[in-house]
Amino acid sequence: MNVIRHENKIDAAVRSENIKQRGFVLWFTGLSGSGKSTIAAEVEAELARLGFCAYLLDGDNLRLGLNANLGFTGADRDENIRRIYEMAALFCDAQIITLISAISPFKKARELAREKIGAENFCEIYIKADVETCKSRDPKGLYAKALAGEIAEFTGISSPYEEPEQPDIIIDTREVSVGEAVKIIVAYALEQELEFLLRKVLEDSIYAAFDAGKAILEIYERDFAVEYKDDKSPLTEADKRSNNLICERLNKYAPYIDILAEESADDKKRLENKFCFIVDPLDGTKEFVKKNGEFTVNIGLAYKNKAVLGVVYAPCLNKLYYAAKNCGAFALDLSKQIFKLFDADTRIKVSDKTDGLTVVKSRSHSDEKTEALLEKHKHRIKDTADMGSSLKGCMIAEGAADVYYRFGYTMEWDTCAMQCVVEEAGGIFVQGDWSDMLYNRENSLNELGFVILNRIESRLD
């Protein structure tokens, strides 16, 4: 053989970074009339709406062009699938989310497709419907022709379909609607794109926080009424307006990411979702009422109950903190710096101090237990600072403080965004009993308090 493979100068990692996504293949298999093409087309459209580059290669369309010279014998069917998976492998290497809708009736051909593309990049989706159901639908009139003997080698009638034994996803279209199928498949796709999804969501979350901050300041600069909730915490027009603005913007990602927001009704269906936004539209309402500027807009994202994204924006201070899992933590003074996502010059990290510590305390939630702890360890403490809202954790993230103990109750939305910022800056964030803090829980109350440290050696208790 006188053909030698030529290696490209750039690899998949470079392409992935350039296009800001990872390529993989969603392979839809099933009988004619099962709903493959309908569902695949809707999935492609939804991925595009969410900002991803996706392309559907439909088996019928390919037989009108690339595979027009092939029939329906066993050998031709195998060659048809071979050409499709060879092309899909190229699309995948180009980092396109590639959707294949093809009957692909033979198990061996599908196994070869998985092998060629790579198991880590291949999702076999069985669009399940029995022959009787497909015959009753018969959208193209093909079953009627096959039963009349007008079409030879027709899958399900005169040619076999070998059902997948262990597909990655099964969609039984006798029971599952197109909309439900799309939700299942897109949710799977988003998990494959987690790294790049976080970047897209992070930018949207930051601009949502900016919009909310603008609305909050409009109210802050004039007189406003203060209500009190059942737990005696204050509530203002700013809390409500900010909450509505943020949720409206984040709903772009519905139904794949649910929302737990302080001023919205808690829809417990979120517990079934691996993703959940955790939103505090105005953290530090007491500081807002006092007009001392120490309040923030907090937008966090939990995935599998862990904080993986955080945005903390202090509109009065023109200060923005943000972080995403494995991407680092960043802070900038918007009165002096222009926002640019993941700008290395704005990256922050915790201090390395273990003595001469700066301890932050809540300006509005002081307690005797905290004061006793600080008195006991005063020989290690150089300074203390009172601060409102999530700014306390952010101070530790940027090295301006080192320790924060909170013994009182808080809620998930008080801590989620801040925790991601702290952890991505290299800090430690745990519950008061030193267990992991989890999110998107049945009970949103943080009952055990929490501890934030720059280093484990700075522990005071």
Per DSSP, the residues of 212-244 read HHHHHHHHHTS---EEE-TTS-EEEHHHHHHHH
Q: Are strands 169-172 and 275-283 parallel, antiparallel or unpaired?
A: unpaired
Do 206 and 178 have their domain in common?
no
pLDDT at 205 over 90: yes
Q: Note whether residue 3 is domain-resident.
A: no
**Closest-CA residue to 37 (of 116, 102, 121):** 102
Q: Which of 281, 311, 341 is the last residue of a domain?
A: 341
d(CA 16, CA 69): 34
Do 61 and 182 have their domain in common?
yes
Question: What are the catalytic residues?
Answer: 104
422 three-state secondary structure: helix
Tens of pLDDT, residue by residue over 229-284, are 988 899 999 999 999 999 999 999 989 999 999 999 999 999 999 999 999 999 99
**Closest-CA residue to 328 (of 418, 424, 416):** 424
Q: Where are the beta strands (DSSP E) in 153-274?
A: 169-172, 226-228, 234-236, 258-261
**Neighbouring C-alpha atoms within 13 Å toward the C-beta of 264:** 23
Q: Token pair of 216, please? A: 């909050």
pLDDT at 135 over 70: yes
> Taking residues 18-26, what's their average pLDDT?
96
CATH number for the domain including 232?
A: 3.30.540.10
Say how many C-beta atoms besides its own lie within 10 A of residue 417's C-beta.
Answer: 34
Q: Token pair of 356, please? A: 């001469």
At 231 the pLDDT is 86
Tens of pLDDT, residue by residue over 162-176, are 999 999 999 999 999
Average pLDDT, the chain: 96
Q: Note whether residue 291 is domain-resident.
A: yes
Q: Note whether residue 276 is domain-resident.
A: yes
Q: Note whether residue 351 is domain-resident.
A: no
Tens of pLDDT, residue by residue over 274-329, are 999 999 999 999 999 999 999 999 999 999 999 999 999 999 999 999 999 999 99
* pTM of the complete model: 0.92
**Identity (one letter) of the amino acid at 220?**
Y
pLDDT band at 1 (very low <50, low <70, confident <90, very high): low
- Phi then psi for 290, rounded to 5 degrees? -75, -15
**Residue 381, strand partner residues:** 357
Q: Calculate the alpha carbon distances from 211 to 181, 244, 314, 339, 379 in Å.
A: 34, 11, 12, 14, 44
Task: Write the DSSP assignment of 341-394 as a string of letters.
Answer: TT-GGGEE-----SSSEEEEEESS---HHHHHHHHHTGGGEEEEEEE-TTHHHH
Instruction: State CA 154 to chain mean position distance.
Output: 42
Q: Note whether residue 348 is domain-resident.
A: no
CATH number for the domain including 91?
A: 3.40.50.300
Q: Note whether residue 41 is domain-resident.
A: yes
Q: Note whether residue 94 is domain-resident.
A: yes
Question: Domain tally for the chain?
Answer: 3
pLDDT at 366 over 80: no
User: How big is the chain, counted in residues?
Assistant: 461
Percent of the chain with pLDDT over 90: 92
At 325 the pLDDT is 97
Tens of pLDDT, residue by residue over 116-134, are 999 999 999 999 999 999 9
Q: Token pair of 194, please? A: 């987690």
Q: Token pair of 55, please? A: 């392309």
**Residue 327, strand partner residues:** none
> Taking residues 205-222, what's their average pLDDT?
97
Domain that holds residue 292: 195-341
Q: Calculate the alpha carbon distances from 396 to 14, 289, 306, 333, 345 in Å.
A: 34, 25, 20, 16, 18
69-108 exposure pattern, b = at least 16 Cβ within 10 A, e = fewer: ebebeeeebbbbbeebbeebbebbbebbbbbbbbbbbbee
CATH number for the domain including 444?
A: 3.40.190.80
Cis peptide before 255 (omega within 30 of 0): yes
Quick one: three-class SS letters along 74-111?
A: HHHHHHHHHHHHHHHHHHHHCCCEEEEECCCCCHHHHH
Do 397 and 335 have their domain in common?
no
At 74 the pLDDT is 87
